[in-house]
């Protein structure tokens, strides 16, 4: 058994998130999570991998689905959910259409990013599916990188921070969980045992644990300053490197969408295998 210790939503992909005491689990992720995205003029996703200052944008999700935006690089702006005006967009290998936001929203993000970009809204999340190698054809995903939710455990973060403290870049630690941008964080577990989880229950919500999460340069970006560091990738590469990637956290797919989860919910592992000595898949 474990306990759900935090819930996090990220209204705009690559921008700051916010914690919540409870959230509704939808088929494509937590309600309000990653339904907005910044794209370039060709419609390809723009993320904090290339534009780290996106992480300084704070989107406040309004009850009507619109956003109140703040950033050190632009004045505050309120934007509404767009209606119609579908444009083609691409998130990695996924090609779909999304609703184009108002011109002032696109201009606002262009100022933040420093190049012409557009803001889009995923009005119909059933347009996008996760990788069929790890999901069903009836599964969906928002603008998240690959899967509806990301789970991390406090025990694994504590172990990672211990490794960092014993390494050559101890001054870069300890790292907060915000570096990894999980939707749900679980306490009262053993480090890395989540690698072997296959099905879990959080409160009354049931999930498949479909694969581990290979990590990128976004985790090396301080979410408070947008400054890049070497950690955690440098340390993960020493202890958690397989198939040319580094691994932290697990991807979830909901099995009974429509229910709510809340901080303090009991977490039960329903199906598991021994944690593999290799990629957590």
Tens of pLDDT, residues 30-84: 999 999 999 999 999 999 999 999 999 999 999 999 999 999 999 999 999 999 8
Q: Average pLDDT, stretch 149-169?
A: 98
The pLDDT value given to residue 1: 83
Residues 6+ apart with CB under 8 A from 89: 37, 39, 43, 44, 45, 95, 96, 97, 98, 120
pLDDT reported for residue 61: 95
Q: What is the pLDDT of residue 280?
A: 86
Residues ≥6 apart with Cβ < 8 Å to 264: 3, 4
Give dist(CA 74, CA 271) in Å, integer.
48
pLDDT, residue 279, reads: 82
Asked if the bond preceding 193 is cis, omega within 30° of 0, the reply is no
pLDDT-derived band of residue 165, with 50, 70 and 90 as boundaries?
A: very high
The reported pTM is: 0.96
Over residues 139-163, the mean pLDDT reads: 98
pLDDT at residue 201, as a whole number: 98
Whole-number pLDDT of residue 84 = 82
Instruction: Please give the pLDDT value at position 41.
Output: 95
Mean pLDDT taken over the chain = 96
Q: What is the mean pLDDT of residues 119-141?
A: 96
pLDDT at 26 over 90: yes
According to the model, what pLDDT value does residue 281 have?
Answer: 77
Pair of tokens at residue 63: 């009850």
How many CB atoms sit inside 10 A of residue 129's CB?
A: 16
Mean pLDDT throughout 169-175? 97
Give the model's pLDDT for residue 164: 98
For the chain, give the percent of residues with pLDDT over 70: 100
Is the pLDDT reported for residue 276 higher than 90? no
**For residue 92, what pLDDT band results from cuts at 50, 70 and 90?**
very high
Asked if omega into 174 is within 30° of 0 (cis), the reply is: yes
- Write the DSSP assignment of 193-212 as a string of letters: GGGGEEEEEETTEEEEEEEE
Contact 109, 117 (CB under 8 A): yes
Average pLDDT value for residue range 9-19: 98
């Amino acid at each position: 058994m474990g306990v759900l210790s935090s819930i996090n939503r990220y209204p705009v992909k690559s921008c700051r998130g916010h914690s919540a005491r409870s959230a509704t689990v939808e088929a494509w992720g937590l309600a309000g999570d990653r339904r907005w995205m910044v794209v370039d003029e060709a419609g390809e996703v723009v993320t904090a991998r290339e534009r780290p200052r996106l992480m300084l944008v704070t989107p406040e999700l309004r009850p009507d689905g619109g956003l109140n935006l703040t950033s050190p690089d632009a004045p505050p702006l309120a934007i509404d959910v767009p209606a119609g005006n579908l444009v083609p967009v691409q998130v990695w290998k996924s090609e779909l259409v999304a609703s184009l936001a108002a011109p002032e929203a696109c201009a606002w993000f262009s100022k933040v990013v420093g190049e012409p970009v557009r803001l889009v809204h995923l009005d119909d999340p059933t347009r996008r599916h996760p990788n069929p190698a790890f999901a069903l054809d009836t599964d969906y995903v928002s603008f998240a990188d690959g899967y509806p939710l990301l789970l991390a455990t406090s025990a694994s973060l504590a172990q990672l921070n211990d490794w960092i403290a014993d390494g050559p870049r101890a001054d870069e630690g300890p790292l907060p969980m915000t570096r990894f941008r999980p939707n749900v964080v679980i306490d009262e577990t053993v480090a890395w045992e989540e690698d072997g989880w296959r099905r879990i229950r959080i409160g009354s919500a049931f999930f498949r644990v479909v694969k581990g999460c290979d990590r990128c340069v976004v985790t090396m970006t301080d979410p408070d300053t947008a400054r890049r560091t070497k950690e955690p990738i440098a340390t993960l590469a020493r202890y958690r490197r397989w198939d040319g990637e580094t691994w932290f956290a697990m991807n979830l797919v909901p099995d009974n969408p429509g229910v709510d989860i809340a901080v303090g919910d009991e977490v039960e592992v329903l199906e598991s295998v021994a944690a593999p000595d290799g990629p957590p898949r």
